[in-house]
Amino acid sequence: MKIEMKPLRILLRFAVFITVAFFVFNYFFSTLNKVEEENEIYLNNDVQFGGIVKSLKVSNNHRFGIITLSVVENQSTIFNQNSSDDRSMLFPYSLENDFAEIYEYVPSGLSVGDSIYLNSKERLIKYFYTKENKQFKGRLKMITDGFDIDFVNQNSQLKLLIKK
């Protein structure tokens, strides 16, 4: 009786593929969990403010940009967005008295004159579109993409607060 090798090879290749896929999947989700834990630690800081959009500067990286606000309500007067010594991450906002910048993906349709409310502890950002009379909610996260960090360093009006 002769055992056919072809089905055995296919089964062996399938088993190797499943094993490799499992390890890649496991690594990917453990990395995501680490990022979520870091976001939770860094952003749990009671920073809250709201304001009116004064300008938008959008990069070439999937609508990431800097949203400049004239602050109308805030819980703190100054927040140094790079208070972490880890230069591979930036906070998604900076605040100095009545001027703030939000470093985030700029939602489609957001324009000068619209309002934004940010609550770091809840990791929440609310966009209020004035002309359309609608609201959009987003989630705050630490900025970790190198291109986005460079964009903020090169284009922030609060450059003096960014450690180099």
Q: Which of 120, 122, 86, 85 is nearest to 100 (CA)?
A: 120
What does the pLDDT average to over 103-107? 94
Which pLDDT does position 136 carry in this prediction? 92
> Residue 63 burial (CB < 10 Å; 0-12/13-18/19+)?
middle
Per-residue pLDDT at 36 exceeds 80: no
Question: In whole angstroms, what is the distance from residue 91 CA to residue 102 CA?
Answer: 9
- 148: region left, alpha or beta (phi > 0 left; psi from -120 to 50 alpha): alpha
The residues near 32 (Cβ < 8 Å, ≥ 6 apart) are none
pLDDT-derived band at 83 (thresholds 50, 70, 90) equals very low
Mean pLDDT for the chain overall: 84
Centre a 10 Å sphere on the Cβ of residue 133 and count the other Cβ atoms it contains. 7
Structure tokens at 110: 């957001």
Structural domain boundaries of the chain? Answer: 1-43, 46-161
Burial 45-54 (b: 16+ CB within 10 A, else e): eebbbbbbbb
Identify the H or E element spanning 132.
none
Tell me the pLDDT tens digit for each residue of 122-143. 999 999 999 999 999 999 998 9
Give me the pLDDT at residue 1, please.
Answer: 52
